[in-house]
Structure 1
Amino acid sequence: MSRDARGGRRPTDPVDDATLALLVEVAGTPKPGNVDRRRDLDDLRFESFLGGAVGAREGLELAAGEGPGDEVASVGGAFERAVSGMAERARTNTQFGCLLLLVPLVRAAADSDRELSPAGVDAVCRATTVDDAVAFYRAFEVVDVAVDDPPPGADDLDVRRGGDAEPAVCEREMTLRDVLALSAAPSDSAEATDSAEANRVPDRNAAEWTEGFPRTFRAAEWILTDEGPLADRAARAFLGLLAAGPDTLVASTQGAETAREASARAAALLGVESAGPDGIGGVDAVPAEAVHGADLAAAEVLAEAFVDEGINPGTTADLTCAALFVALRRGAEVAP
């Protein structure tokens, strides 16, 4: 909720909250290994994320039915437009994963027939179509996204093919949720046919799509029940999410072992046990009081170490952004 000029509370627009979530996420400090308001990376700057948030707005409006003539784009179409706008303004990939999570959340929040709940957003994801999947693939043509190789037998569905994957997507009748399920499968699934696949870290963003956004809603509760500036609460929630399970981007760029070690280091900072080898369900093992008590000064030391080591938990930042959106929809405010 926001306040009018006389201090009364009024409903907020889901697109405003999604934009604010993108901005507060990058302002949260420290988020070890990520860009924040005090820390740039060699190839990414703080202001690039501000531009990306502004550029993505048109796609978020389409997701909420606020396009020209109250146009409501498909989930895939809204995502494609949001990514395109982000890339045009930021000139790089700043928030691809954030938008993948925000678009169905915005759709659920804006739909009067649904509620912003795990069941509500799950219904949005389950309603996606083959056309949504094709639009998702096209979005990879405008940005460079670090991804793992596809699971065995799915080379024709490699997202790095962009729009060239459309015939395979259509032939297999894959919805957007179906496509993401390929990356969300845990390492002990039937697809784990060799040691490399068995050691794979599941895609956390894809897992949200197939599991009803459990990490998002859990972290939103951490934020809502925490105290202090919203950006600080976001930074603490980031640490909780990283402790809960290995980061997909770190696993893609530096390997599963490094990703799991990074999560163990975040868990140690919070004083909790590491979530386990694959992190599935790990978010429930992180107590809210451990997150709320996170030492941000100690996190600064970890942040510098991660930057020096090239550890960039970008997927954890995506989840933090999604959690901020849910928290904002449920009453969190930037005002004291």
Structure 2
Amino acid sequence: MSQPTVKPASLAELAQFAMLLEVTARGKPGNIDRCHDYEDTRLDHFLSSAVLAKPVFSAVEEGRLSIGEAMRDAVARTNMHNGGNTHFGAFLLLLPLIAGRGIAGAAELVKKTTVTDAVLFYEAFGLTQVRVRTEDPMDVNDPASVQRLIDEQITMYNVMEYSAPHDMVAREWTNGFALTRRAADLLIAQNSGVHTIPAMFLALMAEYPDTFIAKKFDAKTAEAVMYQAREVLDGKRSLAAFDGECIKAGINPGSLADICIAGIFTALLEGWKWDC
């Protein structure tokens, strides 16, 4: 009897897997993992988000949702738990990567987003508590901003262009997903193993100040964390001590975590094998 044909994992499944691998990888300083929870947000909130997002990922893979529609629906579905924002930035990266079948396609697709996508993106913002800059003229919580999108024909790509200077996730849309590519390359270069994801994450931490930290605290704090990560890589600081300091201070590199997820997805898509 012939063996049944096993279908390769779908893009939706790879995206879900990337989310699960990132949040369960131990050794990512300051972020929630199997050993760390925050008071209001826990590991199970992130796991729930990864499960609940799957139908949206599938709809995007099948071409049934635009990026704006998918952002709104993904946030609405994953808002069923009370853990706050878990994967908003990850969705912003994963959805075009799924729709574009990888980085090259995503980089072109995002430029074709519409004003309607931008309005739906603002609706998605309204469903969660994503950290934003104060006194922003394009405040996502201000109804006048939505009207401005329509009046001035501002597309979702234009919104990312506006946000790019102070948001590294938005910047991925405008720079061809450069850090996503960097993250994937780090994983692929290491081949496989349980320590590859934390090693990739720490390398990115040591290279780039996290913009989520900058919004939560300030740019000086984000730069200090970057230099501390470099000290860990240089053997001048203990990883465990650094992690503990970040957790105690509430310093979590959330933007880099989102890029980490996108990098894992890209690496998986390109044949990288994760080996526990």
Q: Same fold (TM over 0.5)?
A: yes
CA contact 1:220–1:324 (8 Å) conserved in 2? yes
- Pair 1:75 & 2:67 matched: yes
- Deviation larger for 6-15 or 36-45: 6-15
Instruction: Please list every run of at least 4 consecutive aligned residues from structure 1 whose deviation after the TM superposition is greater than 6 angstroms.
Output: 5-9
2:227 to 264, 280, 293: 264
DSSP 3-state at the match of 1:12 = coil
Inter-partner Cα distance in structure 2 for 1:86 and 1:132: 19
Please list, as runs of the form range in 1=range in 2, the aligned pairs for 1:80-229 lying within 5 A after superposition. 80-89=72-81, 91-109=83-101, 116-117=102-103, 119-149=104-134, 155=137, 157-161=138-142, 165-185=145-165, 202-229=166-193
Instruction: Give the whole-Å Cα distance in 1 for the aligned partners of 2:135 and 2:211.
Output: 14
Q: Per the alignment, do residues 150 and 18 of structure 1 end up closer, same or farther by CA in structure 2, a change over 3 Å counting?
A: farther
Q: Deviation at 1:8? A: 8.8
CA distance in 1, matches of 2:29, 2:275: 25
Percent identity between matched residues is: 33
Whether 1:320 aligns to 2:260 is yes
- TM-score, with length taken from structure 2: 0.92
CA shift, 1:94, in A, is: 0.9
Given that 2:192 and 2:275 are in contact with CA atoms closer than 8 Å, whether structure 1 keeps it comes out as no
The question of whether the paired residues in 2 share the 8 Å contact of 1:58 and 1:81 is answered with: no
Return the match for 1:329 from 249, 269, 272.
269
**Residue 51 of structure 1 contacts residue 90 of structure 1 at CA under 8 Å; is this kept in 2?**
no
* Deviation readout 1:21-62 (Å, 9 max, x if unpaired): 010000111111110111111221111100011111222122
CA shift digits 1:57-80 (9 cap, x unpaired): 222122112xxxxx6111110111
- Which amino acid is the alignment partner of residue 164 of structure 2? A
Distance 1:258 1:50 in 2: 29
What is the CA–CA distance in structure 1 between the aligned matches of 2:4 and 2:227, rounded to whole Å?
44
1:299-318 aligned at under 5 Å gives the runs 299-318=239-258
What residue ranges of structure 1 are gaps of 5+ in the alignment?
66-70, 110-115, 186-201, 272-293
The separation in 2 between residues aligned to 1:223 and 1:6, in whole angstroms, is 33
Q: Which runs of 5+ in 2 are unaligned?
A: none
Q: What's the offset of the Cα at 1:236? A: 1.1
Is the 1:31–1:299 Cα contact (8 Å) retained in structure 2? Answer: no
Query: CA, structure 1 residues 91+46, in 2 after alignment: closer, same or farther (shift >3 Å)?
Result: closer
Deviations 1:237-260 (A, max 9, x none): 111111121111100011110001
- Residues in 2 aligned to 1:108 and 1:90: alpha-carbon distance in whole angstroms: 31
- Mean Cα deviation higher: 129-138 or 85-94: 85-94
Distance 2:108 2:4 in 1: 36
**Is the 2:30–2:253 Cα contact (8 Å) retained in structure 1?**
yes
C-alpha distance 86-27 of structure 1, shift in aligned 2 (>3 A): same
Query: Partners of 1:240 and 1:7 in 2: how far apart?
Result: 42
Letter paired with 1:313: P
- Normalization by structure 1: what TM-score? 0.77
Residue 51 of structure 1 corresponds to which residue in structure 2?
Answer: 48
CA gap 1:236/1:178 in 2 versus in 1, 3 angstroms: same
Superposed displacement of residue 141, structure 1: 1.6
- C-alpha separation between the residues in 2 aligned to 1:60 and 1:33? 28
Separation (CA, whole Å) in 2 of partners of 1:41 and 1:89:
15
What letter matches 1:34 in structure 2?
Answer: N
Over aligned residues, Cα RMSD in angstroms?
A: 2.3
Q: State the match for 1:242 in structure 2.
A: 205
Distance 1:317 1:7, change over 3 A: farther
Aligned-pair CA distance for 1:332:
1.9
In 2, distance between residues paired with 1:335 and 1:31?
18
- Does the 8 Å CA contact 2:52/2:77 hold for their aligned counterparts? yes
Take 1:160 and 1:313, find their aligned partners in 2: how far apart are those partners?
Answer: 24
Shift in CA distance, 29/6, structure 1 to aligned 2, threshold 3 Å: farther
- Cα distance in 2 between the residues matched to 1:311 and 1:6: 51
Give the distance between the partners of 1:91 and 1:308, measured in 2 at CA: 19
